[in-house]
Amino acid sequence: MTLRIATWNINSVRFRLDIVERFLRDHAPDILCLQETKVIDGDFPHAMFEELGYRHRLLNGQRMHHGVATLSRIPLTEDRRHDWQDNGEARHIGARLPNGLLVENVYVPAGGDVPDADVNPKFGQKLAFLERMTRWSEALREDTVIVGDFNVAPLECDVWSHKALLDVVSHTPIEIEALARLQAAHDWVDLGRHFVPPPTPFYTWWSYRAADWKASDRGRRLDHVWASPAVAQTATRFEVIRDARDWGKPSDHVPQIATFNL
């Protein structure tokens, strides 16, 4: 069985529905995990996904903020939700596939602007979120793929300038250490860096503030695809759809697709 799983922080699914449709028509993954959908479940734009064959949909939405959705051509069971934010925000949705594989879709908080939990509660919430994910990972015994916007760029080659961003939220040592603990808790394999080994630069996000994002290329790798060790051994391909950053009214993130031969 070949399985292709895509992940994309779309930054409002309704506002960018045209480029989601373009992505699905051009690349046709079996499963698409979206983050930052910014829509309550009752207003989700089901029709286009239904038309393209994504008839199995799990939603965890929220008005104007956050929100995750998993859209699939194959059946999804076990609507799984973890409140790793511990405040009711819609930041996770999980599913089980017919073969037993778990697919977890997560949107980690950005963490605000100041990397100090004492003066910036949002940064503390981000670290607590990652810690709760770590505790969950320690107890995980099932084959799992976890994808999404982790809002942490862990390696020096995951950012356009390691020196310039050391004190910028998303690339600070404390966040990198927290993400490393999460990865170690289940021996997660970072498929992005499995297929694109360091020190090759690799980014999935570019700020809207750049006049020409491609020319400046000041990116960060905030979005990730991780797999349990046994599942990672079945991964055969990894794609970053970088040109999506230029489509229509683009998201500041681009999609990634991992292919597995299960």
Element containing residue 197 per DSSP (H, E): none
Confidence band for 99, pLDDT divided at 50, 70 and 90: very high
In this structure, what DSSP letter does residue 43 have?
G
* pLDDT tens figures, 130-168: 999 999 999 999 999 999 999 999 999 999 999 999 999
If DSSP codes are grouped into helix, strand and coil, which group holds residue 7?
A: strand
Sole residue written with tokens 């003066």: 119
Q: What band does 75 get if pLDDT is binned at 50, 70 and 90?
A: very high
pLDDT band at 181 (very low <50, low <70, confident <90, very high): very high
pTM of the model: 0.98
Q: What is the pLDDT of residue 169?
A: 98
Q: What domain range includes position 145? A: 2-261
Domain count, the chain: 1
Q: What mean pLDDT value characterizes the chain? A: 97
CATH number at residue 17: 3.60.10.10
Report the first-to-last Cα separation within the chain, whole angstroms: 5
